[in-house]
Structure 1
Amino acid sequence: MADHRHKRDTDARRKPRAAVIAGPLALLATASAVTIGMLASNPASPVVTADVSADISGVFQSREVASRSGSRISGDLLQKEFDRNQDRLAKQAAAERAAERAARVATQRAVEQADEKLWTTTVLNLWTDAGSSATQVGEIDAGKQVLVTGRDTAGRTEIVVDGQSRWVTAGYLSDEKPVAAAAGLSMAPCPDGSVESGLVSDAVYVYRSVCHAFPQITSYGGWDAHGEHSSGKAIDIMTSDKELGDAIAEFLKAHASELNLYDVIWWDQIWTPVRASEGWRSYGDHGSPTANHMDHVHVSTN
């Protein structure tokens, strides 16, 4: 028995890259060879040869058509999605333009129909609108009378300045002309604006002046339903510190004329401008430290 020895080819199972690339070409070459061979061995069989060639060609043509068809379908879908997005963007832009036109018309109408007049109580910034992206376009001084449109939003009030819509911080317009602050006094708003509720303008002037002259005072009594407070002409400046209360009382006395004061009561004593020559007079015992005004300076206006 013959001894056949074969050396193992370690690359037998590897397919060179060139072979991979040449595979389809080899298939075509093989097909061509088969065709030629069939023609040589059997020249009378052209139909068979044509069928084989047609089958091979059909495989590649089918793949190419399918590939092109897939690209065409994918492209059509992308085009349709692009068209839909463009349509949405166009509609959105049209809606935004319509909203802007409506806002301009509403503003113009508000400006034209404004007929209420109020007074500015402090210096106010002027804004182009009430939104957070508004631009500041100047200031308006305190004590100015302005037309108000009646529109309020986002903490701002719309007024008319030189025929144009402008917005100011809400809460600083008054029915009454504010009193101009004298030297040493103030009409600038205080941190606690609620104290002013129900007060007449003179009492507001007193409150703001004391608030700025004595910032250590953090508690006040404004309008309520008893005594001089029920008229809105009186405020209580809350302190039990005798030295501080004396300073506040003397401050009020010194500015009695500018503040249009009626009386000052402190530490069981009363002072009135009409009897200023008598100085402080006894207020009398009214039964408690609070009633005797020993924990607050009471002041009222005419």
Structure 2
Amino acid sequence: MTHARKPGSRRKPVVRDPWYVRARRHGGIAAGVASLGVAAVATLGSSPATVATVATAADVAPASQGDIVTEALDGSAPARASRSSVERAPLPSSVKAEARVEGTMYAQKTVPVRADSDPDSPVLATIGKGKTVQVTGTTRGGWTEIIHNDLSRWVATKLIDDSEPKLGPTEGTISQAPCARGSSVESGLQPDTVRVYRAVCARFPQVASYGGVAGRGEHATGHSLDIMVRGQLGWEIAAFLQANRVALGVDYLIYEQRIWTVQRGGEGWRGMSDRGGDTANHYDHVHVTTVGSAGTL
């Protein structure tokens, strides 16, 4: 029997619980279902049919697949390698590399350093003329094994030799390292004159003596340097200074009673009047005068 609603009456509104109350209620239900699931598994595990089913599954699984939780708890878990521990190529050992070196040889010109003893092998570096290379004593055809940056590399045998090559005026590097003979000569010299001293000292170590600041002319201001040498070696030094005049800030040179200046460089070496002796006529030294501080090194 249906009761008719009285005229003028209103339906009572439905009051819903807030969302967080409903969430707690559903969470509780889910937890209860999970507990029932665990209990059900435990109950099924006690039946013969379930035991047989589990055993069959274990037989199918790989023997090495263990229970990692149990293993971690009892300390029997094997060490498992991470991706970061994947085997990598060993780093070069300078100690092992040095043990293979049997001697050194000189590059007779610019030498390409290759990965293998093959002209088609990629060039990994170059060694400048006059530089030393470390050789292992191993050769293969026309190739010699060297140690370069602690690694085995190969160079053409014909490009290296036991003898140090003579560098041309424009070959090799211009050193600005302090002279092995000492820095006392540099006292009072202009920056360009110091550049000349260091460059000549490194390139021509056979020079035994230099003249720096003195109480006469441009020597007094530190613009000039005397390189004490005779004969052909003096001309080689002069050619080196001419070729590198911009880098070293050279202004002019005098040797064996002849003079060369940057301003009149196109005229070459010009004769000078006799001043009455070997030293006065510059037969026992190359005289260099510099601009002062114009060198580009």
Q: TM-score, normalised by structure 1?
A: 0.39
TM-score, L = length of structure 2: 0.39
Structure with the larger RCO, 1 or 2 (CA within 8 Å, 6+ apart): 2
Instruction: Report which of the two structures shows the higher radius of gyration computed on alpha carbons.
Output: 1
